[in-house]
Amino acid sequence: MHTRQSATRLLRNVAGNRLQKRLAGNSNPSPQNLAVRLSKPGPNKNNKPSSPTDAEIVKWNKAISDHMRNSRCEAALHLFDTMPSRTTVSWNAMISGYLNNDRFDLARRFFDEMPDRNLVSWNVMISGYVRNYDLIAARRLFDEMPERDVVSWNTMISGYARNGFVDEAREIFDRMPVKKLVSWNVMISGYVRNHNMHAARCLFDKMPERDVVSWNTMISGYAQNGYVNEAREIFYQMPVKNSVSWNGILSGYIQNGRMEAARQLFELNSNWDTVSWNALMAGYVHRKRLVDARMLFNRMPGRDLVSWNTMISGYAQDGNLSEAQKLFEESPTRDVFTWTTMVSGYVQNGMLVEARRVFDEMPVKNSVSWNAMIAGYSQCRMMDEAKELFEAMPCRNISSWNTMITGYAQNGEIDHARQLFNEMPKRDSISWAAMLAGYAQGGYSERALHLFIQMNRDGERMNRSAFTCALSTCADIAALECGKQLHGRLVQAGYEMGCFVGNALLAMYCKCGSIDEAYDAFKEMPEKDLVTWNTMIDGYAKHGFGKKALVIFESMRMTSIKPDDVTMVGVLSACSHAGLVDKGIDYFYSMNRDYGMTAKAQHYTCMIDLLGRAGHLEDAQALMKSMPFEPDATMWGALLGASRIHGNTKLGEKAAERIFEMEPDNSGMYVLLSNLYAAAGRWSDVGKMRVTMRERGVKKVPGFSWIEVQNKVHTFSVGDSVHPEREKIYAFLEELDLEIKKLGYVSATKTVLHDVEEEEKEHMLKYHSEKLAVAFGILNVPHGRPIRVIKNLRVCEDCHNAIKHISKIVNRSIILRDSNRFHHFDGGGCSCGDYW
DNA sequence: CTAGGGTTAG
């Protein structure tokens, strides 16, 4: 037991004068700033503690936790401050309470200042760091603590696994001296979370005893990773089921988009609990079927807070703020969740004033609430307001900093972004990515590169996972030069052996369009795991080298590593992209025959694509009908694409209709259908499409392309008129145009629709962003080196045709990455074989 | 007061 010594002084230190002043003027105090107020010396501080009984202290402690659970930090602190004597448990309750309310700073101060720590204090603090995504700090505490119990070990395992470090989690798991049932469950759940069902199953089969949680973890793991059949198998095998088991199956259907199957199961029996109702309702909300969701909501026997929150967020995200507001007012109780939903609903619909009104009214805010409001301001380019909130918020977390960095970067204030990046206490992969993306999108490639180098210099920060993260950032923004630099540093650091980094390296080369260097890296990897093989296969497939992909697959079969469903997606899409119909069909059937795999939605999508492209539209439809689940928008999209290639307007319309039902905002599909009409000469339908798009408020994503030349990224958009070298580029394009027409190129104005006025059509076509970037590349990339262009959307058919001819005329190799795949143009042809 | 399974917000 301790006297109440330093709590007051402690808090005064925590708050700091600046914050205290700022909050003093706030007319609408949140509990967080009340906590600060209490730091002023209160009355009755000099009573000598009478000696309370143990039972009384337990009561006090319970009251503290209770306050904390209900986000009443100030009340908890008041109790803590005035209680006659404290135990370690009291301190622990405060720490845990603050952590639950996103006050990591206060929690740590209490932890540091407390007179005696027990095992729980350490464990609580570690779990706090885990929740704040700070695995390094968590690990430091874990290593420092004087002794560890099962909970300490389990917390670390779960912490690593939750944040994607499943190997580190396994390392801890293997090292722990005594494993309990929960330890096994945590580790299995870690594998599940990281989509490694194979490893999860191995552990599950090996574990000495199982309880209902172990079984349920496997059910939901299989279900959420798309193996509904396996989930059902486990479900039937398990000795004692509870409602969680049932809900695992139900939400498995829901998350795999099989709403009708979910519904059938749901109607089959009547003893579903509230969680089940909520899950089904959320499924409908997620698929924008608000009418169905509302019908369930009305029918529900017992609505809880989650039910109300789900329904409210459904309306809010759908833009129906008036209905959301109505339900919000009707709801019997509201929690932080409810309020935050309203705030972010208004924010997402650009209604900043309303958002702010709700935000000011809400009684308890957590970091999510603050971040939502900040994001709202920064999306509306109101960085001053965003900054004001950011500085006032008591519970800043990494997300808050990241939101601000992104905001500044997107508003062109790159230096402010960098300043925050430098100042922030902890960075995660998002922070680096945000900063790098800011540099990359703003054209500051040298600075992006420099940031990588700084990452390396920081030494400690540049561990294996940082390399992995940096490499995958390079892959995303197709920064090949940066990626190569990292590769160099990797070799210097002696890191290049492991699969972890090796796979990232491989993926980087693939996504940056350098498939040959990817293969070099692949060859040199001493150990190849499943991901290595999958990455290489998919890389070749995406680049249109289907036969090479299949060669890799055949070598993989010689090893002891078993292909999984991801492998097969790569193999099937290789066949599809390369037009290898019979091979594709063979492989599809071999999945079950040779490996006992059940084909998932993605495999069917590949097959529909494969059959469709090859002109077997009937077979594609037949396959769709025979599938064990409902077709999703991607499958109809594949069919629509195939219909376009083969000029089947009727089928295209049917597919499009289904897509618009499921994804009314998918602008790419509207364009695809328009192109189909245009190709058939149905101009009035083309016009109607344009009207429909306008009526439904579908915005076509503007297309842009970029190219890296001498460490600088050049971005182009349709009809670009801002690039400093535009005159030269346009003149060069005119010249090319004449040349390629001699080769038989016909401007395909008629087949391509873009949302520009009719008379501008031919003019605009010549100036699509990809053409501009290619022309710029030819003019500026030294001879003998490939020209690498990236486009955010699918490449336009006419441009594709033109670039093929251009590659022949200028005798250059042009590599174009679009949103779907890679195109290698060489000597007048393309690696995609005109199928894409 | 701390670790594992099914539903809601960034």
Distance between the alpha carbon (CA) of A219 and the C1' atom of B7, Å: 16
Kindly tell me if the per-residue pLDDT of A409 is higher than 70.
yes
Kindly tell me if the per-residue pLDDT of A752 is higher than 80.
no
Supply the pLDDT for residue A464.
62
Distance, CA of A222 to CA of A13 (rounded, Å): 49
Supply the pLDDT for residue A595.
86
Distance between the alpha carbon (CA) of A126 and the C1' atom of B1, Å: 13
Nucleotide closest to residue A312 (CA–C1'): B8
Supply the pLDDT for residue A45.
37
- The protein residue nearest nucleotide B9, judged by CA to C1', is A341
Distance between the alpha carbon (CA) of A1 and the C1' atom of B2, Å: 20
Mind giving me the DSSP string for A395-450?
S--HHHHHHHHHHHHHTT-HHHHHHHHHH-S---HHHHHHHHHHHHHTT-HHHHHH
Kindly tell me if the per-residue pLDDT of A17 is higher than 50.
no
Rounded to 10 degrees, what is the CA torsion of A56, A60, A61, A66?
A: 140
Q: In A50-174, where do the E strands start and end?
A: none
Kindly tell me if the per-residue pLDDT of A429 is higher than 80.
no
Nucleotide closest to residue A274 (CA–C1'): B7
Largest CA distance in chain A: 101
Name the average pLDDT for chain A.
84
Distance between the alpha carbon (CA) of A125 and the C1' atom of B1, Å: 11
Nucleotide closest to residue A190 (CA–C1'): B4
> Smallest Cα–Cα separation from A662: which of A131, A159, A362, A259?
A259
Supply the pLDDT for residue A551.
94
Read off the pLDDT band of A178 (50, 70, 90). Answer: very high
Contact A607, A639 (CB under 8 A): no
Kindly tell me if the per-residue pLDDT of A755 is higher than 60.
no
Supply the pLDDT for residue A484.
86
Report the DSSP beta bridge partners of residue A620: none
Distance between the alpha carbon (CA) of A390 and the C1' atom of B8, Å: 25
Nucleotide closest to residue A185 (CA–C1'): B4
- A453 vs A674, residue with greater confidence: A674
Average pLDDT value for residue range A188-207: 94
Supply the pLDDT for residue A449.
65
Distance between the alpha carbon (CA) of A735 and the C1' atom of B5, Å: 66
For chain A, the C-alpha Rg in angstroms (whole number) is 29
Task: Return the axis-axis angle of helices A601-613 and A617-626, rounded to nearest 10°.
Answer: 160
Which tens digits make up the pLDDT trace of A591-633? 989 888 889 889 999 999 999 988 899 999 999 999 988 888 8
Distance, CA of A830 to CA of A800 (rounded, Å): 9
Kindly tell me if the per-residue pLDDT of A740 is higher than 90.
no
Mind giving me the DSSP string for A56-73?
HHHHHHHHHHHHHHTT-H
> What percentage of chain A exceeds 70 in pLDDT?
87
3-state SS assignment for residue A724? coil
Distance, CA of A14 to CA of A231 (rounded, Å): 49
Supply the pLDDT for residue A763.
57
Extract the tokens encoding A319.
């833009």
Contact A111, A140 (CB under 8 A): no
Kindly tell me if the per-residue pLDDT of A357 is higher than 50.
yes
Contact A703, A718 (CB under 8 A): yes
Nucleotide closest to residue A246 (CA–C1'): B6
The bases of strand B with some atom under 7 A from any protein CB are 1-10
Contacts of A271 by beta carbon, 8 Å cutoff, 6+ apart: none
Which tens digits make up the pLDDT trace of A260-274? 999 999 999 888 999
Distance between the alpha carbon (CA) of A433 and the C1' atom of B10, Å: 17
Nucleotide closest to residue A245 (CA–C1'): B6
